[in-house]
């Protein structure tokens, strides 16, 4: 059962109203069970309390490391209790703070199925449609303790964090799912990775069939996730703050399927536009 944390914000929609920057400080907030929001107004970082220590999911931009740790402290947790860090995808806006968080906490970084090389180097995968942009924002190299295979779980204090490789947004995109209970109610939380198909100028998915196939495969995996409560790396993508504030339902077992279907439609529309564009 979760322990009450007086510093947890109950109205995140108001707390971040008019502020959605990646580095805009946000208060910590309770999500469900022993899962907490400790990120910024524009980028998600999650904290999960287990009997064997704390698990952090993502870290945000490089400048967010201190903001994340401040939120951990506000909840009453010692930062040295963070024992594991999991990553959604290998872009600076979500993993940029991980190297510093690892250094400051001593935590082990568990890479998703296809992330380790990029996390260790701090450089994007050559096949990433955003690679030319990401090379301008290199990350500090991260020491990876292990790679979690697709469909297998890191078990921390009896909580199983299952990794799902879904390379829609980036080659190393990974969603994570875990079970939480609150009183007699138990739910599966899905940290569903980003689904947008952003690219550098001039990139055409129609000319990159392998990447396009990976997008479709990744979206299908997200659609099939066990998913009572969806959370996304950009909180706005899953309407998270209104849901935490009580103005929209927190629980929706169809949310991951809907999230993936919307992205699939957007991707189809992009392919049509690319096909119609002059070469």
DSSP string, 229-249: EEE-SSGGGGTHHHHHTTSS-
- Residue 29 resides in a domain: yes
Span 185-190, average pLDDT: 98
Q: Based on the structure, what is the number of domains in the chain?
A: 1
- Residue 7 resides in a domain: no
β-pairing, 108-111 vs 53-57, is unpaired
| CATH of residue 245 | 3.60.15.10
- Residue 6 resides in a domain: no
pLDDT of 2 reads 57
Catalytic residue among 91, 100, 193, 259: 91
111 burial type by CB count under 10 A (0-12 exposed, 13-18 middle, 19+ buried) = buried
pLDDT of 143 reads 98
- Residue 217 resides in a domain: yes
Quote the mean pLDDT of the chain: 96
Please give the Cα distance from 173 to 89 (Å, whole number): 5
Is 169 a residue of the active site? yes
Is 203 a residue of the active site? yes
Catalytic residue among 94, 125, 128, 228: 94
When mean pLDDT is compared across 63-77, 142-156, 190-204, 265-279, the lowest value belongs to: 265-279
Catalytic residue among 30, 100, 169, 228: 169
Residues 6 or more apart whose CB falls under 8 angstroms from that of 214 comprise: 167, 168, 171
Across the chain, the runs of DSSP E, i.e. the strands, are 29-32, 35-37, 46-50, 53-57, 82-86, 108-111, 144-147, 153-156, 159-165, 174-182, 185-191, 229-231
- Residue 226 resides in a domain: yes
Structural domain boundaries, residue 188: 12-276
- Residue 5 resides in a domain: no
Q: Which two tokens stand for residue 249?
A: 């339902």
- Residue 45 resides in a domain: yes
- Residue 174 resides in a domain: yes
pLDDT of 3 reads 64
Is 94 a residue of the active site? yes
pLDDT of 279 reads 59
Catalytic residue among 37, 191, 203, 259: 203
């Amino acid at each position: 059962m979760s322990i009450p944390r007086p510093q947890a914000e109950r109205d995140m929609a108001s707390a971040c109203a008019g502020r959605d920057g990646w580095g805009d400080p946000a208060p910590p907030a309770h999500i469900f069970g022993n899962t907490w929001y400790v990120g910024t107004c524009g980028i998600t970082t999650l904290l999960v309390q287990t009997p064997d220590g704390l698990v952090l999911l993502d870290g945000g931009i490089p400048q967010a490391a201190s903001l994340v740790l401040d939120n951990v402290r506000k909840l009453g947790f010692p930062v040295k209790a963070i024992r594991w860090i999991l990553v959604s995808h290998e872009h600076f806006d979500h993993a940029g703070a991980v190297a510093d968080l690892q250094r400051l906490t001593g935590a082990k970084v568990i890479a998703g199925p296809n992330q380790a090389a990029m996390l260790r180097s701090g450089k994007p995968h050559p096949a990433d449609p955003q690679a030319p942009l990401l090379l301008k924002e290199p990350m500090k190299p991260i020491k990876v303790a292990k790679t979690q295979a697709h469909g297998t779980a890191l078990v921390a204090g009896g909580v199983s964090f299952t990794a799902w490789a879904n390379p829609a947004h980036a080659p190393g995109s990974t969603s994570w799912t875990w079970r939480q209970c609150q009183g007699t109610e138990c739910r599966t939380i899905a940290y569903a990775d980003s689904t947008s198909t952003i690219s550098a100028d001039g990139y055409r998915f129609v000319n990159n069939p392998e990447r396009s196939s990976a997008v479709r495969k990744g979206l299908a995996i997200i659609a099939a996730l066990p998913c009572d409560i969806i959370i996304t790396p950009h909180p706005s993508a899953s309407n998270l703050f209104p849901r935490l504030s009580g103005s929209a339902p927190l629980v929706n077992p169809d949310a991951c399927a809907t999230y993936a279907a919307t992205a699939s439609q957007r991707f189809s529309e992009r392919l049509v536009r690319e096909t119609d564009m002059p070469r």
